[in-house]
């Protein structure tokens, strides 16, 4: 039995839990279903895997560059509070042996169950973002564990909840994804979906007549900024250096350097030390950020060029009409300028949300102050900017990013008491779907015992029924917010395996 648990844990964490392997495995299965030759199967699977590894390299570069930026923002404004971190809660849960084993089992069963649901219902989505599967399985397992649900029931209900979220959230966001991608067969497989939908709706409300962020006009001398990589780098250089100067003037050079170092960024003062070394290091981090975004876009193009054509096999033979649901950077390549706009607007929304909590709402509702976490604001804010731009141009990108920032800040605050009640003090998730679903499930679990598990299962059945109706009523009917998709994108070439997205 121990060996079986070990194998299941290995599959759940070291294969399903690694996005690159999961995407490569699904691409291989899709190519096999398409009856491709051995060379095409091996080459396509490896290329899709490498695309995700490239994406991960870019994401890690961006995450590393965002570490000092978070410290600069909090230090410049002199604020304190809780920073939402998905990984922290997962790490704590993995330190509890019974929970860690049940999380692995719930994730393993949940992935299989999601494919069964996709086969038997109109929700034909194959969710391929492994780390978000792990985070969602952790939320559900920990909640049910602390509700004193029997172990076997705990695993099955957590698996059912995970499978439910893996198919319903791509369905709810699909009309807006069609608008973003020009009707390409790609779905959103990231649990920040509520924020993206809100951004798309907001863009449609405020952005009528607004031109796309990708049509920005620059004077002759500034046309180099039209290159997304260069424009991103220049914007971040200004932000990093401005915040560095403000922070240093506010607390002094020594304290500013110490704060950034304590936040996890070693060598903030550079090789030469002092203020000039500090400024040079921050300048370099801005460039790393811009380069990381460029690498992410390369990884996305590589993945799209392989997985979308390959999924024709799954759509024809295994799960008719199957659509891959991929991580949020998959939309970045459709509007790179909107990614930066959405990120910055989301940070502003987060600061405004912090202000709302600080002004009295937090104390009235007994919830903590939530500081902007740069990682969720970049990835979910960037995605929200793309969705807002698709329905409302530049104004939509700004407003959509801002609304996303408010959502992930205020929802995070409301989730903290729920997490505290199950033993995770001063921690909370950074993405909208973990927040709203965790809040609902956490409150259902206050009943305790197997009755709580029944309540969660009923919730999942209701969500599946509603999502199936939504799929038939809005997705299958071809409805797209605001009419036809803006800036239609040519189909991805299956001959050269090269995406044609901008």
The confidence score (pLDDT) of residue 226 equals: 62
> Domain range holding 33?
2-214+226-475
In the numeric block, which tokens belong to residue 405? 């920032």
Q: Answer for the pair 103, 134: CB distance below 8 angstroms, yes or no.
A: yes
The confidence score (pLDDT) of residue 218 equals: 62
Q: Answer for the pair 160, 455: CB distance below 8 angstroms, yes or no.
A: no
223-262: per-residue pLDDT in tens?
Answer: 666 666 777 788 888 888 888 888 888 878 788 888 888 7
The confidence score (pLDDT) of residue 101 equals: 78
Q: What share of the chain is helix, strand, coil (3-state, %, to 5)?
A: 75, 0, 20
In sequence order, which residues have a C-beta less than 8 Å from that of residue 460 and are 6 or more positions away?
Answer: 160, 161, 164
Q: Is the pTM of the predicted complex or chain greater than 0.85? A: no
Residue 188 carries which DSSP code?
E
Residue of 448, 447, 336 lying closest to 397 (CA atoms): 336
Q: Greatest CA span in the chain, whole angstroms?
A: 70
In a domain, 95, yes or no: yes
Q: 227 exposed, middle or buried (CB, 10 Å; 0-12, 13-18, 19+)? A: middle
In a domain, 220, yes or no: no
In a domain, 251, yes or no: yes
Q: Please count the structural domains in the chain.
A: 1
In a domain, 485, yes or no: no
The confidence score (pLDDT) of residue 415 equals: 85
In the numeric block, which tokens belong to residue 322? 């199957």
Q: Answer for the pair 197, 172: CB distance below 8 angstroms, yes or no.
A: yes
Report the distance separating Cα 251 and Cα 263, nearest Å: 16
In sequence order, which residues have a C-beta less than 8 Å from that of residue 30 and are 6 or more positions away?
Answer: 307, 310, 311, 312, 313, 314
In a domain, 204, yes or no: yes
In a domain, 483, yes or no: no
Residue of 245, 222, 247 lying closest to 234 (CA atoms): 222
C-alpha angle 291-292-294 in degrees, rounded to nearest 5: 65
As a whole number of Å, the CA-based R_g of the chain is: 22
Residue of 174, 188, 193 lying closest to 485 (CA atoms): 174
Q: Answer for the pair 162, 136: CB distance below 8 angstroms, yes or no.
A: yes
The confidence score (pLDDT) of residue 362 equals: 54
In a domain, 482, yes or no: no
Per-residue pLDDT of the chain (502 residues; tens, 9 = 90+): 677 777 877 777 777 767 678 778 878 887 887 788 889 889 988 988 888 788 778 878 877 887 787 778 777 766 666 777 776 677 677 667 677 778 878 888 888 899 899 999 999 999 988 778 888 988 899 889 888 889 899 999 999 999 999 999 999 999 999 999 988 889 999 999 999 999 999 999 998 888 898 887 766 666 666 666 777 788 888 888 888 888 888 878 788 888 888 777 776 666 666 778 888 888 888 888 888 888 887 887 787 777 767 766 666 677 888 899 998 989 998 998 899 899 999 989 998 988 888 886 655 555 677 777 788 898 999 999 999 999 999 999 999 999 999 999 999 888 888 877 766 666 788 899 999 999 999 899 888 788 999 999 999 999 999 999 999 999 999 898 876 665 444 333 333 333 333 3
In a domain, 319, yes or no: yes
Residue 462 CB neighbour total at 10 angstroms: 11
In the numeric block, which tokens belong to residue 62? 């961006």
Dihedral over Cα of 182, 174, 432, 409: its sign? positive
Report the distance separating Cα 477 and Cα 297, nearest Å: 31
In the numeric block, which tokens belong to residue 483? 């009419």
Residue of 380, 297, 325, 393 lying closest to 184 (CA atoms): 325
The confidence score (pLDDT) of residue 453 equals: 92
């Amino acid at each position: 039995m121990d060996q079986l648990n070990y194998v299941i844990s290995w599959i759940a964490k070291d294969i399903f839990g690694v996005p690159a392997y999961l995407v490569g495995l699904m691409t291989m299965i899709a190519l096999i279903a398409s009856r491709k030759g051995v060379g095409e199967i091996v080459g396509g699977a490896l290329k899709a895997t490498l695309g995700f590894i490239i994406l991960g390299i870019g994401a890690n570069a961006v995450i590393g560059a965002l570490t000092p930026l978070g410290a600069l923002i909090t230090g410049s404004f002199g604020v304190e509070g809780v920073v939402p971190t998905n990984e922290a809660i997962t790490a704590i849960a993995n330190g509890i042996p019974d929970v860690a084993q049940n999380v692995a089992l719930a994730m393993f069963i949940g992935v299989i169950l999601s494919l069964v649901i996709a086969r038997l219902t109109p929700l034909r989505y194959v969710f391929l973002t492994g780390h978000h599967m792990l985070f969602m399985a952790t939320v559900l397992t920990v909640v049910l564990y602390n509700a004193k649900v029997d172990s076997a029931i705990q695993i099955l209900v957590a698996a059912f909840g995970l499978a439910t979220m893996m198919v319903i959230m791509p369905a709810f966001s699909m009309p807006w994804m069609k608008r973003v991608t020009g009707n390409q067969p790609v779905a959103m497989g990231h649990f920040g979906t509520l924020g993206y939908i809100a951004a798309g709706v907001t863009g449609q409300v405020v952005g009528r007549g607004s031109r796309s962020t990708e049509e920005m006009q620059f004077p002759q001398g500034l046309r180099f900024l039209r290159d997304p990589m260069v424009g991103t780098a220049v914007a971040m250089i200004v932000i990093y250096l401005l915040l560095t100067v403000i922070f240093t003037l506010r607390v002094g050079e020594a304290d500013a350097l110490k704060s950034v170092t304590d936040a996890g960024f070693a060598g903030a003062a550079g090789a030469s030390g002092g203020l000039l070394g500090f400024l040079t290091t921050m300048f370099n981090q801005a460039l790393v950020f811009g380069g990381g975004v460029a690498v992410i876009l390369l990884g996305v193009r590589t993945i799209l060029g392989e997985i979308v054509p390959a999924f024709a096999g799954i759509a024809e033979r295994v799960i008719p009409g199957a659509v891959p649901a991929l991580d949020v950077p998959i939309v970045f390549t459709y509007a790179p300028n909107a990614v930066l706009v959405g990120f910055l607007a989301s940070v502003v929304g987060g600061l405004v949300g912090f202000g709302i909590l600080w002004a009295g709402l937090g104390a009235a509702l007994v919830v903590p102050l939530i500081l902007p976490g740069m990682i969720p604001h970049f990835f979910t804010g960037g995605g929200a900017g793309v969705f807002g731009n698709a329905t409302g141009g530049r104004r939509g990108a700004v407003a959509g990013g801002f609304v996303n920032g408010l959502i992930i800040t205020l929802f995070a605050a409301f989730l903290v008491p729920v997490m505290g009640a199950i033993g995770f003090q001063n921690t909370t998730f950074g993405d909208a779907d973990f927040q709203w679903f965790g809040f609902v499930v956490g409150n259902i679990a206050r009943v305790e015992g197997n009755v709580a598990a029944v309540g969660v299962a009923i919730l999942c059945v209701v969500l599946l029924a509603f999502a199936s109706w939504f799929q038939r009523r809005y997705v299958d009917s071809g409805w797209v917010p605001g009419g036809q998709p803006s800036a239609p994108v040519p189909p991805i070439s299956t001959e050269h395996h090269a995406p044609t997205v901008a």
